[in-house]
Structure 1
Amino acid sequence: MVTTPPPPVLNPQTWQWQDHTICYTVAGTGQPLLLIHGFGASIGHWRHNIPVLAAAGYQVYALDLLGFGGSDKPALDYTVELWVEQIKDFWAAKIQRPMVMVGNSIGGLLSLMVMADSPELTQGGILLNCAGGLNHRPDELNLPLRVVMGLFTKFVSSPLTGPFLFNQVRQKGRIKNTLYQVYCDRAAVTDDLVDLLYQPACDRGAQQVFASVLTAPPGPSPAELLPQIQQPLLVLWGEADPWTPISGSKLYQDQPTITFHPIPNAGHCPHDEAPDRVNPLILDWLATQFSPSP
């Protein structure tokens, strides 16, 4: 199966999971952190964060979820539960110590699920513009948009129209336009970033992954998961995110045990768009919770 390697600066490695090849990276020593990307992204999306966190005295792991990045893209039913299983097995194989999970978008939701389901694996969590579900729930969309999304999902899933539509969605120009919608700083939308999202979309099986994810159930909501979580949480939120608007962050701001920081002039991926502001917030919070290695 052809897959796309991440940028060489991240020193990619592979791990076999359920007969599938999974791409991951690890850097540094000390308290383990596990970074989980969002929909369509990969470990390369953390390229501005991994070196900084590792240099500060943490052992930083980042994992390509099955179906994305340099990991295999088999024909499966993709769900948040599948990825949670992958994350737990990766922890058992590679980390084996209580970790801090760091997740963007869907990666944030997966972090909450692992923290709630297997608290012994984690010491805390850091959420960046956490998704409310793998997909929008029908009641979250107004009627016209609900119909449009329903039709789009139907056509994307069709073996007749799905490949054509996916080929349109994955064009570099469309990827760049989408990034312009969710990044405030257009200078952060570089050719390297576009390639980071485009190349894995050319892998065999990528279209089937896309269709499966769009038709998958949304999974548990953060509101359902938060009451189960006892570990400390840092929540960072790009204020200009149109996909997960900051109005949805009130759920976290209402919790006295959660540290919350809005990130002005940043969108859905503040760790990539504004790493110079996000990295210090992460390191400051980690220092208050854990002692990094000297």
Structure 2
Amino acid sequence: MNVSYVERDGGRIAYEVHGQGPPVLLAHGMGENRGSFRHLVPLLVAAGHRVASVDVRGHGDSSAGWSSYAPAEVGADLLAVVRALGGGPATLVGSSSSAAAVVFAAADAPALVSGIVQVGPFVEQPKLNPFLRVALAAVLRSPRLFGMFHRTLFPCDRPADDAAYRKAMVATLREPGRMAAMRGVAAPVDPHWTTRARDVRQPVLVLMGAKDPDFPDPGAAARAARRQFATAEARMVADSGHYPHADRPAQTAADLVEFLAVTGRA
């Protein structure tokens, strides 16, 4: 494992690079780390891409204790990694909470971003009843409970190494400042990514697991995300939950490689 770092105001961002070719940055969701993409990275490398998997601020090997975990700040971190790789332009792939970050990055620095992919994006803040609000508050304070919740986001299949990955993920979340970072990511923010979506002029792909349990109707959620942009495409990953890059890496890679052929011409 060859980890690199880029310094930012308030800490440093860790990332790992594999392969050669047009650059692709992968940014994970709340509570996870760059290992979320462990099964996707080799497929993109084999397809001829230079792939940087990033630990977003507060997660993995990146610093904890940031003053803000807003998606605009995470987007700026991703742009800093693009610059460290040589200035791009790069395609940015954001999963779950990071799906918001890639929108800010594309809108703020179009010369550095050739396209974006949103994996499981939230167009609206989920509406929770009192019981679920209490449950969420507990999950955001307990690494063990988050690990149990994380397991539910794989309603179809889990990777063969899922238990080992989750054990390591939970161990990282027990480090000082990690659960505070999760709460920072989960906090409502203004501006919301949807306010910047129309500023994105690069190609956009929305990927959604067809059985993502985070959404009552994943197909409707994907279409709602697509409609936020001037031009975008939405695709469903069959028999997949919230992390299609983990439970259906081959199908996800095929969709991404097809899209990357478009961003390479953009």
Fold similarity call, TM over 0.5: yes
Q: Are 2:29 and 1:58 aligned?
A: no
Deviation at residue 69 of structure 1 after TM alignment: 1.0
Q: Are 2:111 and 1:120 aligned?
A: yes
Q: Are 2:237 and 1:263 aligned?
A: yes
Task: Report what 1:203 is aligned to.
Answer: 175
Distance in 2 (CA, whole Å) between partners of 1:86 and 1:176 is: 26
Q: Are 2:10 and 1:24 aligned?
A: no
Answer yes or no: is the 8 Å Cα contact 2:95–2:120 preserved in 1. yes
Q: Which one of 232, 235, 242 corresponds to residue 213 of structure 2?
A: 242
TM-score, scaled relative to structure 2: 0.86
Task: Report what 1:48 is aligned to.
Answer: 39
Secondary structure, aligned partner of 1:230: coil
Distance 1:83 1:278, change over 3 A: same
Letter in 2 for 1:50: V
Structure 1 gap ranges (5+)? 1-7, 157-161
Secondary structure, aligned partner of 1:72: coil
Distance in 2 (CA, whole Å) between partners of 1:256 and 1:21 is: 34
Distance 1:95 1:176, change over 3 A: same
Decide which moves more: 199-208 or 273-282: 199-208
Q: Are 2:113 and 1:141 aligned?
A: no
Which residues in structure 2 correspond to 1:70-219 (within 5 Å)? 70-74=61-65, 76-132=67-123, 136=125, 140-141=126-127, 145=129, 147-148=130-131, 166=141, 169-171=142-144, 174-188=145-159, 190-217=162-189, 219=191
Deviation at residue 48 of structure 1 after TM alignment: 0.7
Task: Report what 1:287 is aligned to.
Answer: 261
Q: Percent identity?
A: 21
TM-score, scaled relative to structure 1: 0.78
Deviation at residue 218 of structure 1 after TM alignment: 5.7
Distance 1:31 1:72, change over 3 A: same
Structure 2 gap ranges (5+)? none
Task: Report what 2:224 is aligned to.
Answer: 251
Secondary structure, aligned partner of 2:122: coil
Deviation at residue 44 of structure 1 after TM alignment: 0.7
Answer yes or no: is the 8 Å Cα contact 2:123–2:224 preserved in 1. no
Deviation at residue 253 of structure 1 after TM alignment: 4.9
Distance in 2 (CA, whole Å) between partners of 1:53 and 1:253 is: 24
Count of residue pairs brought into register by the alignment: 261
Letter in 1 for 2:100: L
Distance in 2 (CA, whole Å) between partners of 1:215 and 1:111 is: 18
Letter in 2 for 1:233: V
Answer yes or no: is the 8 Å Cα contact 2:58–2:181 preserved in 1. yes
Answer yes or no: is the 8 Å Cα contact 2:91–2:116 preserved in 1. yes
- Pick the structure with more helix per residue: 1
RMSD: 2.7
Point out the structure with max Rg over C-alpha: 1
Distance 1:214 1:175, change over 3 A: closer
Task: Report what 1:274 is aligned to.
Answer: 248
